[in-house]
Amino acid sequence: MQLIFVHGWSVLSLDTYGELPALLADPTINGGLKLNISHLHLARYISFHNEVRMDDLIRAMDVALHDTLGVDQGERLPEFSAITHSTGGPLVKMWNRKHFAGSADNPLKHIVHMAPAMQGSALAKYAREKPGKAKALFETIVVDFPNISRVEPGLGVLEWLELGSKGIWDLAQDRLAEAKNPVGRPFEFSLIGDTVDDTIVKRVFKAVNERGSDGVIRVAGGNLNFSYLNASEDDAQGQQVVSKKQWLQSPLKRRRNILHLGSENLASVEDRAFQVFENTSHFQKKTGIISSITRKTYSEKQTFSTLLAALSVANQAAYSAMRQQMRTSTKDYQDGSKTSGSSAHKNSSYSMLVFRVRDDQGQTIDDYLMTLLTLSPKGKPSSKMPDDFFVDRHLNPATGQLVYYVDANKMAAIKKFAMLIEAFPDEGFAYYEPLEIRWTDATEELIRPNQTIFIDVRLKRKVTKQTFDFVKPDEKKKSFKGRSPGKLLIDGTDSVQ
């Protein structure tokens, strides 16, 4: 077995791989894997220069793979497997999809993701905005690195990693396509912890000390399983005319379009192996998902035994059995039935909601309010939500995508759930009407524990007929600067504003 290791963003030294490569090459330890040191290949790529983007790394990785595995460009690569960490996860995934999507000749047989940044990282925003803090992060990870002054934040990679980026959205769409056509898909595993290392919190970014995270990657952001919901105003089944005062303290009457959606409208990836591990953080010697695996500790590390088992999977039946085992272990850990710290982790699961809002003309809308609502049995909306359900909110300035981070267990207590989108402008000659998306099934079917849901909202842009017309040359009233929008839209329907 040829095996590559691919590290994450901010790495400056091969020390990031710790003792793991040597342990995997040791026949007395590796559980019968056909590996020796000549079969192992440690990636080193540049993420700490601002000009380098993720697509640059994908191209460079392809050339490096062919060189390392002794194959000319254009010739078939020999079979190999991959262990990735953090940003290495989406990097390897995108390389593989670019070159072998739907191919039965895919040479990549296993990908074991260790804390993969599949849905990005909350850390990326702070590293991008505060380069001094990013430098402190490098110093924390690699002590006494001699060329630390040459390090840049790596803005090109951070742009991809920031929550709500275009790259993350595009990768999710590609993974949905893969689920529909899984020919040649490798055996893929995601392993992640939910412990935050105190060193990172105290020395670098206090903001990353959030529940449901390993200090860099949220559990929901590292899960290979996720959902996608298309919510188009074109499919709205009804309307309500309500007082705008109810939401924005204005006496204007507004028409709210009502869209009912349920589980049948979801597209999901649900068949990927995933597990959350106790006392496991993103890095650092004592708890790091890779760096804590040493000759002294490997026999006690469930992450190591799971890694070995993953690399040993040879067929779909074995993969399905291991996926179920990992799912059960995660449930036992998070509900506190099989953990040394049950009271601390009982019901500790969180979810991310990623909203992309566009109009029917293809324009991105980045000025909008997103309100999560509960519904009464009769369908009356209320903004009263469970206490402490909300953890974090992030608006990506480059894409306008909005990311909510919520307590999935508290959200599950909501019997009926809705989302209200109020986009601007909301009046005048061209405007948007509010859209209320009412979820018709159990809330946990939409907001799933440890997962991300991508919600693709498309609104109709309303334009009044008074925006443009023609008149005869003898029109007496020459000025039209005081013209009102009128009550008729260009599609012939009435305007309610």
Q: Is the pTM of this model over 0.75?
A: yes
If you average pLDDT over residues 102-129, what whole number do you get?
Answer: 92
Residues 486/463, Cβ–Cβ less than 8 Å:
no
Those residues with Cβ within 8 angstroms of residue 253's Cβ, 6 or more apart along the chain or in another chain: 241, 242, 243, 244, 496, 497
Q: Using DSSP bridges, classify how beta strands 253-261 and 238-243 pair: parallel, antiparallel or unpaired.
A: antiparallel
Looking at residue 73, its amino acid is Q
Kindly state whether residues 322 and 447 are assigned to the same domain.
no
Tell me the C-alpha distance between 285 and 304, whole Å. 15
Of the listed ranges 73-77, 114-118, 182-186, 374-378, the least confidently predicted one is: 374-378
Residue 484 lies in a domain: no
**Domain annotation covers residue 317:** yes
Consecutive H or E run containing 382: strand 381-382
Handedness of CA 356, 114, 152, 67 (dihedral sign): negative
Last-in-domain residue among 319, 345, 371: 345
* Domain identity same for 180 and 91: yes
Residue 288 sits in a domain of what CATH number?
3.40.50.1820
301 and 338 share a domain? Answer: yes
Q: Is residue 495 part of a domain?
A: no
Residue-range definition of the domain harbouring residue 410: 227-266+349-463
Let me know if residue 475 belongs to a domain. no
Average pLDDT over residues 363-367: 96
> Is the same domain home to 115 and 155?
yes
pLDDT digits (tens, 9 = 90+) for 460-489: 999 999 999 999 998 888 889 889 999 899
Q: What is the pLDDT of residue 371?
A: 93
The yes-or-no verdict on residue 7 having pLDDT over 90 is: yes
Q: Where does a domain end: 345, 366, 384?
A: 345
492 domain-assigned: no
Span 2-21, mean pLDDT? 92
Q: Are residues 315 and 254 in the same domain?
A: no
Taking the C-alpha atoms of residue 213 and residue 391, their distance in angstroms, rounded to an integer, is 12
Position 483 in a domain = no
Same domain, yes or no: 235 and 101: no
Distance CA 153, CA 135 (A): 7
Q: What is the mean pLDDT of the chain?
A: 89
- Per residue in 192-226, pLDDT (tens digit) is 999 987 666 555 555 567 889 998 999 999 999 99
Is there a single domain that holds both residue 218 and residue 171? yes
> Residue 65: which pLDDT band, with cuts at 50, 70 and 90?
very high
User: b/e for 49-60, b at 16 or more Cβ within 10 A?
Assistant: eeebbbeebbee
Q: Is residue 40 located within the same domain as residue 157?
A: yes
Burial of 402 from C-beta contacts in 10 A (0-12 / 13-18 / 19+): buried
Looking at residue 381, its pLDDT comes to 84
Q: Which residues pair with 111 in a beta bridge?
A: 82, 188
Q: Are residues 150 and 164 in the same domain?
A: yes
> Residue 405 and residue 211: Cα distance in Å, rounded?
10
The amino acid present at 166, given as its one-letter code, is K
pLDDT > 90 fraction of the chain, expressed in percent and rounded: 71
Domain boundary among 345, 360, 392: 345
> Do 389 and 288 lie in a common domain?
no
Say yes or no: 241 and 330 in one domain.
Answer: no
Residue 120 located in a structural domain: yes
What are the pLDDT digits (tens) for 401-446?
Answer: 999 999 999 999 999 999 999 999 999 999 999 999 999 999 999 9
Is residue 327 over pLDDT 70? yes
Phi-psi region of 162 (alpha: psi -120 to 50; beta: other; left: phi over 0): beta
| pLDDT tens-digit map of 158-168 | 999 999 999 99
Nearest-10 Cα torsion for 261, 264, 269, 275: 80
Q: What is the mean pLDDT of residues 384-394?
A: 93
Phi/psi of residue 461, nearest 5 degrees: -90, 120
How far is it, in rounded angstroms, from Cα 378 to Cα 392?
30
Rounded to 10 degrees, the C-alpha dihedral 98/454/435/494 comes to: 10
- Is 443 found in the same domain as 301? no
